[in-house]
Amino acid sequence: MHDEIRRNLVTTRTHLLESQILIQTLSDLPSKAADLPPELHAVIELVTAQLNGHIPDSNRETLSGDVSLFLENIDKIALAVSVQLNTVLSHLCVIADPQKPPEIDRLSTKAQTLRDEATHDLPSELAAGRVELANTAYKVLTTHRRVLESSIRILEQTMHGSLARATKTKAEYMHARATVLGLQARIHTHAHPPPAEFVAALRNFKDSQGASEVALRDRESLARKALELYDRAGEKAMKDIAKRATYLHEEIARMQEEIEKLERSK
């Protein structure tokens, strides 16, 4: 039962599409069929309007003459429609396969093949194309990121290099400036000698420094000699010296106590 309903639906749909194609071809016929007599153009347009339901049934008797003329020339009109349909089929063959258009009688088979490819092969190819597109987009984004990183690195290197060169240039400038100032100071010293009082003060300071240096050297020599004597005396002599120092400290403390007692007794 379901198969019969399906067949009926397919048949009905086929008849409907055939009717629509014929009516559409018939409506375009006056403008595309140059070999039709001009008096048939208006007749074809009226019949097409009637088939499309644009003319009410009450006017059919009025148009009966035009319909009769249409039927009388049905062979010419059918031939023109056939030519137009063949032209359309030729265009469809080219659209179906531009490289190798099929014959008109093979167009149905070609259409079935294209439909199968569209419903089975193309979805899988589309999915594969999407995956490939995603991979390509990932590669493009990765390359873009690397380009940005390289650009940033180049900018940083350029910036640091510029700073280093600027610092080096500034240091060289400061060195040259210091050299110029030193030369200017020497020239000023030779051109403007210091006052006599300043020179005398410098000489006195130098003499005092020399005397202090001599005294310090003498003290250093005496200290070295004392160290040499201590080294020669050895450990026993050092202990004796320590005992004598302790004894002297005790005697000094005792004498201070006696002096304090005498002062208190007075």
Query: 134-143 pLDDT, tens per residue?
Result: 888 888 988 8
Q: Are residues 6 and 97 part of one domain?
A: yes
- Tell me the pLDDT tens digit for each residue of 179-212: 888 788 778 777 766 666 766 776 777 777 677 6
Last residue of a domain, one of 167, 193, 219: 193
- 31 and 83 fall within a common domain: yes
pLDDT of residue 199: 64
The residue that leads in pLDDT, 50 or 189, is 50
Mean pLDDT of 73-100: 80
Of 177, 193, 209, the one marking the end of a domain is: 193
Domain boundary among 153, 173, 193: 193
Which two structure tokens, joined as six digits, stand for 125?
Answer: 């190819």
Contact 69, 43 (CB under 8 A): yes
Q: Say whether both 90 and 137 belong to one domain.
A: no
For tokens 């987009």, name the residue. Answer: 137
- 249 lies in some domain: no
141 lies in some domain: yes
Instruction: State the pLDDT at residue 194.
Output: 65
In this prediction, residues 64-87 reach a mean pLDDT of: 79
Neighbours of 70 (CB within 10 A): 19
Structural domain tally of the chain?
2
User: Residue 60 sits in which domain range?
Assistant: 2-101
Within-domain flag for 232: no
Q: Say what the pLDDT of residue 237 is.
A: 63
> Counting Cβ atoms within 10 Å, is residue 48 exposed (0-12), middle (13-18) or buried (19+)?
buried
The alpha carbon dihedral of 252, 254, 260, 265 has a sign of negative
